Amino acid sequence: MRDTKEARVPMVVIKRLPKYFRYLGELVERKVERVSSQTLADMMGISASQLRQDLNHFGEFGQQGYGYRVEDLYREIGRIIGLEQEYSLVIVGAGNLGQALANYPNFGKRGFVLRGVFDINPKLIGLGLRNCDIMDIDKLEAFIRTNNVDIGIVAVPKEAAQGVADTMVQAGIKAIWNFAPVDIKVPPEVILENEHLADRLMVISFRIQELGFEEEGD
């Protein structure tokens, strides 16, 4: 197995790993024992050579003319991603988005365990959500420290997002997944993923318009 820290795996490859894991999981469910690089690449929407290059960042898998053992590769990709261990997370913001995230069943299935939900609205504090009671945001920092929380999800209005992130960082959070419609700043040692939903829709809007221009030009 190669040292991925030394290899500096490109981010585009890292972002494909969950997709590999998902498609291999589907093959496991269908009880497929072996898969060729071409078949798996076709499922992924990439070339077979690209697939092999991706996997070569992490070691040698499969054999030429033999393909990959599906269950072994599925398990190995899960290990590379880090799914053999459990991660604790909290959600700040118990509005519609926060509630939807809290109720998403696949988090728990993948080892991401919701430990707490926080909000500033007194009407929500004390209500049950998933397996948690919504807590006052004033308790956030102490809760993260006491429970060794790994990941913080920010689902608050943009005006509050940076303050929430600062509290998480102060408490020692390892990573932040930001759903607020604003770019927040964190120290380099804290992992940050921004998920701007409206931006994604605008990209789709652009592509629809682009498709229309192409059709007009035909």
Domain ranges of the chain: 4-81, 87-199
What was the pLDDT predicted at 5? 44
What is the CB neighbour count within 10 angstroms for residue 205? 10
| Residues sharing a CB contact under 8 Å with residue 27, sequence separation 6 or more, in sequence order | 35, 70, 74
- Domain 87-199 CATH assignment equals 3.10.450.40: no
Which residue type is seen at 97? L
d(CA 213, CA 210): 5
Q: Decide: helix, strand or coil at residue 180.
A: coil
Residue listed under structure tokens 């299935």: 109
Q: Would you state the pLDDT for residue 9?
A: 86
Cα angle value 132/96/148 (rounded, 5°): 35
Question: Mean pLDDT in runs of 10 for the chain (218 residues)?
Answer: 56 92 94 93 92 88 76 93 92 95 89 95 92 94 96 97 98 97 95 89 88 64
- Whole-number Å distance between alpha carbons of 98 and 116: 11
pLDDT at residue 47, rounded to an integer: 94
Looking at the domain that runs over 4-81, which CATH code has it been given?
1.10.10.10
Please report the sign of the dihedral spanned by the C-alpha atoms of residue 52, residue 56, residue 57, residue 58.
positive
pLDDT per position as a tens digit, 68-89 = 999 999 999 999 998 888 999 9
